[in-house]
Structure 1
């Protein structure tokens, strides 16, 4: 395997481990989930839970982390390999010199978008399993039980439910991701930088790239989350109500456009930015670490 594959794999796994608790809060805020075990037919907007309300117990801190930890490393590896190969093809750059700074930022954006589309193969089922696990308050619900039940009832098609909106989100998001990182890194770098200064700038540029990326696609991510969490992986027990959108709409699944229209009509435009604050904090921390780990491993693994 190439250096960028392993660098992407390890950095992706590290980012998930660090960012899962904040990602859980972000997902639950986006889903607009009603309180569990409460019967309701009201069309009023659900009230987001507070910070503490998003954790039922200590296990909630890692709820939904299994699927991303196992797969996000592969996703990140696929992303970086596709990005580097596409950028090399567009720029006539040698694949053996991936550390060379690109000069055409249009090519950077296009290569990033291509990498995002490629990563959809892994990200769509991973996001579906992760989001459903995160919004569930049943302590017996795990990533494995969700994946198993979806596979049994709907097959591979069920694992890719919401794949269309996921692919659009990934293409746009990763285009901005690589573009913003390369632009800020080149703008702030200097030949006189010490190793310490270079490391600090990588952390800062990586963090800002994460924030810029999520700000650019957050409404799409809200819609994706609601599309994928319209139903839980199993039927509710007697006396329970496991609804993630308004109860009267649970008889059939809504399309991305229908989800967006319903959310706007019942909760206003602000719903498309619910959770952006906590997401930005998470994005800065996670992507600062991811880029630092990626750059470090590339230097370690790449032949001089």
Structure 2
């Protein structure tokens, strides 16, 4: 009994230490980001910085407006989620509800391979395959329009497609696990009441797995917001309004592109960009917690 009590107490202490380290890490990151990101808001001005649209940090009269950069991140993430989540969810439904064991094993292995591919390879494939295709499409759509500035296919649309593909493994894996965790009794009851298999899937199984699916979606949002390397390679890198064929820059690529040589106010503003990105991630997680709580209450 004494040995058992010692083991339990030791395990409790280890788990407590791990929890404290995790909490400390979150608090440290939060405090650091606010300490480093807020000075630029005072120096440049809150509205000039967050809602300004001109980014010229090295000009004789510098301008640090990141409004277009914030808007690009929001639009790109939302568009990638709208494109990638339905594909990911339907793939998860196929794997968990319809595919045979061999087919599920093959598709599941492909999904795991997608998750293992480094971001830079997604960017490389986008540069070599997607960007040339987008350039041809751009030339076709804007033929005869001398005012249009061609980007060589490195544009907002390319970034959205790459992001949508990159979030697929996360959405598919977590959604598949959530769907498989739904009790077979629910399926049997629905079928016994006369529902078809498709009706059972979309009206019983998916709602029952909603909490897990939302988790996958939010993790996908996190990856979409936080991706830098691949987007830096396919989006063009210019600060523009986020239109489909415009060369654009997101919050993450802004930091990656300029932190290496930035100094003074320029460097402080880049920390503010990081703070904005961090706040976005916090908001997404709060929305998830609220959605899961609402779903649990409705389930009860």
Larger radius of gyration: 2
Which is richer in helix? 2
Q: Which has the higher contact order (CA 8 A, sep 6+)?
A: 1
Question: Is this a same-fold pair by TM over 0.5?
Answer: no
> What interval of TM-score do these two structures reach, taking the shorter chain for normalisation?
0.3 to 0.5
Give the alignment's TM-score, normalised by structure 1: 0.36
